[in-house]
Amino acid sequence: MNLIKRIIALTALAALLVASAAQAQDKGKNYGADAWYMHFDLDWRVDGGLPTKALIVSLQGLANRAAPQFYVVHPPEYQWEITGPLFDFYKRKHGVNFTLLQTTDEVLAKFKSAAKGYVVWDKSVGASLNVAFTIAGLEDVVVVSEELIPLVEKHGLKQFDDLRGRYAGMTDAQIYQDAYDKYWDRCIKDRIMLMGGHAGAVRMPGMADWGVNQRMFFHDLSANPNRPDHAAELALNRRLLSEIEPGGYVFGWHSYGKDTEEQYTTLLSMYGLRMEGLHNLPNLSFNHQFEFTPGFKFTNNHSVPLDAKLTAEEKVYISFVQSDSIGIGVWTKPGRGKLPFGWQVTMNWTEFSPAALEYFHESATPNDYFIGGLSGPGYMYPNHIPAERFPILMERARKLMDLLDEHIMEIMDNSAADGNVGNTDLTKETVDAYYREFPNVIGFLNGYGPARTRDLRDSRPMISYDYYIDPRRPRSEVAADLNELIALNANRPYFLLVHVRESNDVNSLVEVTKQLEGPVEIVPVDKFLKLAASNKTYTTRYQDPEDPKHFEGFPKE
């Protein structure tokens, strides 16, 4: 009798487990996972909070190797402002059961088994932190500065390597050359971690978990050809980029202390690679292990069908677009939804942060419309992409745009620009290539700051930004600027495309629109392009070789 009861009980238990597993499977990969989380503050000073954060994110990368177990929530003021909303999304849509870890001690107690030891970086040699992160990924160890050694040893971790003093007196080029010789062979080759960004007294390697998780080579080598003292760094940089697999990724961001965004992005584009940043983009080691929830399908808020034909009236048509990736934009700022807004989506997040994309789509208002970018499947400057690599990259972009239900491609090439001013134009060859590769889009947008590349072929316009809203510019001047553009472009219809810089407040833009003069209509960007296709009151123009260039680019090897 007891045996029968026991069999029945076991059978029932087994059935329950199978049913539960099936239910979890129905709800998606990693549904109902147990995970832990920690709150970070905003202290990233080398002499303050950085060493502990470096330790934690290195351990996060290791802890998340087998399963999504550890997530970091940043304050809303952190550049990636959605870690909190995304945390709630994981609980709500993926059933993740999070438990709070309050101290580094608790984090080590929970996840020390994921690490085989520790490597010590040298706080007096900045590059040693990046070398330590590389070692961490390859050897499954955490990175510590010397004051944290007792803490990790308390948890039974043994020293694997010690970089203190090893690089004393060496240049960054020499340090990274040494790291290249020792570690590059064993690092993953379709991606690399450019751990630059903040340099000096504050550093912010918020993306290091991902690099450690994926066993990437970390560096912050310069791409500045105007600094003779950086020549060796640039040479090694180019060697590394040339050895990354075709179409590969450069994660992270350029060093604010060595070069410019324009220089670095130009350089990687020459190798047909794509940038995925920033250096402080957190939690990818966690995020990439989730898929879209079952049954979820991207449905964009199209205001016009792909094959619609519209006729523009004698009006001024204005459309607002926010690029910079929606995660660091104005998504969480007050007023979203009050104006039609186009949002540039970092399309590769389908692979690295599906939940983030789903979160944005789920929380979109009818006035929020998503567009593809930047320039392709990642951030790149198309004027510099080798011709033979361009079709391969854009095929990937087309597939991602199909998946994301996007009909517009946004292009940005700041290689000749000076920050957000200057020359942001596309050569005719580049424009030809986009028209060839994207036969089924509504059209193209170009620029970051204002630009003057414009075209119309069949029903697909290419329109550049006529205005860039600097978030610091007084709103009265923004209104005056827009009114001046309306006055100078006196023919009707006039198509005024406006780029809204990250961190602008939508409510303040609503006030600006009330001050506009003339027959103004604010329209969604898909409708804007359809209207622009109907009456070409804009010139056809490409980058003129005689236009001033702030940066001339790199010599080909």
Q: In this chain, which stretch among 243-251, 372-380, 403-411, 418-426 interacts with another protein, using CB under 8 A?
A: 418-426
The residue behind tokens 């920050």 is 419
* Number of shown-chain residues binding another protein (CB under 8 A): 43
Residue 204: which of 80, 87, 105, 304 has the closest Cα? 80
Binds another protein (CB under 8 A): choice among 171, 363, 483, 534: 483
Site string (454-473) toward another protein, x via CB under 8 A? x---------xxxxxxx-xx
- CA dihedral 510→515→518→519, nearest 10 degrees, is 20
Helices (H), 76-220: 83-94, 104-111, 127-139, 149-154, 172-183, 208-213
CA dist., res. 400 & res. 392, Å (int): 13
Q: Which two tokens stand for residue 24?
A: 């979890």
245 contacts another protein (rule: CB under 8 A): no
Least spacing, CB of residue 270 vs another protein, in Å: 23
Choosing from 151, 403, 421, 520, the residue that interacts with another protein (CB under 8 A) is 421
Tell me if 427 contacts another protein by CB under 8 A.
no
- Helices 50-63 and 104-111: crossing angle, nearest 10°? 20
357: three-class secondary structure by DSSP: helix
Q: Does residue 514 touch another protein according to CB under 8 A?
A: no
Is the Cβ of residue 27 or residue 536 nearer to another protein in the bound state? 536
- The span from the CA of 71 to the CA of 83, in Å, is 9
Helices within 404-520 (DSSP H only): 428-437, 475-488, 506-514
Give the residue, chosen from 481, 523, 530, 543, that forms a contact with another protein under the rule CB under 8 A: 481
- What is the enclosing helix (H) or strand (E) of 137? helix 127-139
Tell the smallest beta-carbon distance from residue 81 to another protein (Å). Answer: 24
Cβ-based nearer residue to another protein, 357 or 496: 496
> CB under 8 A: which stretch of 193-201, 279-287, 381-389, 539-547 binds another protein?
539-547
Query: What is the number of H-type helices and E-type strands within the chain?
Result: 18, 24
Q: Which of 159, 363, 420, 534 binds another protein (CB under 8 A)?
A: 420
Closest CB to another protein among residues 128, 464: 464
Residues 359-378 that bind another protein (CB under 8 A): none
Peptide bond into 50 cis (omega under 30): no
The H or E element that residue 89 is part of is helix 83-94
Residue 340 lies near another protein (rule: CB under 8 A): no
Q: Are 324 and 79 in contact (CB under 8 A)?
A: no
- In the complex, minimum distance from the CB of residue 424 to another protein, in angstroms, rounded to a whole number: 10
Could you say whether residue 491 binds another protein (CB under 8 A)? yes
User: What's the closest the beta carbon of residue 336 comes to another protein, in angstroms?
Assistant: 22
Q: Which amino acid is at 71?
A: Y
Please, which residue, 70 or 465, has the CB nearer to another protein? 465
- The answer to whether 513 touches 469, Cβ cutoff 8 Å, is no
- Closer to another protein by Cβ: residue 172 or 466: 466
What whole-number distance in Å separates Cα of residue 112 and Cα of residue 63? Answer: 8
CB 92 within 8 Å of CB 82: no
Name the segment binding another protein (CB under 8 A); options: 99-107, 147-155, 357-365, 489-497. Answer: 489-497
Q: Is residue 550 within 8 Å of 416, Cβ to Cβ? A: yes
* Residue 34, phi then psi, degrees to nearest 5: -85, 130
Q: Does 111 bind another protein (CB under 8 A)?
A: no
477 binds another protein (CB under 8 A): yes
Please say whether the beta carbons of 288 and 71 come within 8 A. no
Q: Which of 82, 357, 451, 533 binds another protein (CB under 8 A)?
A: 451
Shortest separation between residue 469's beta carbon and another protein, angstroms? 7
Q: Does 546 bind another protein (CB under 8 A)?
A: yes
Please identify, among the stretches 151-159, 232-240, 277-285, 487-495, the one whose residues bind another protein according to the rule CB under 8 A.
487-495
Closest to another protein by CB, 213 vs 424, is 424
Could you say whether residue 520 binds another protein (CB under 8 A)? Answer: no
Q: Which residues bind another protein (CB under 8 A)?
A: 418-422, 449-452, 454, 464-470, 472-474, 476-477, 480-481, 483-485, 487-491, 494-495, 517, 536-540, 544, 546, 550
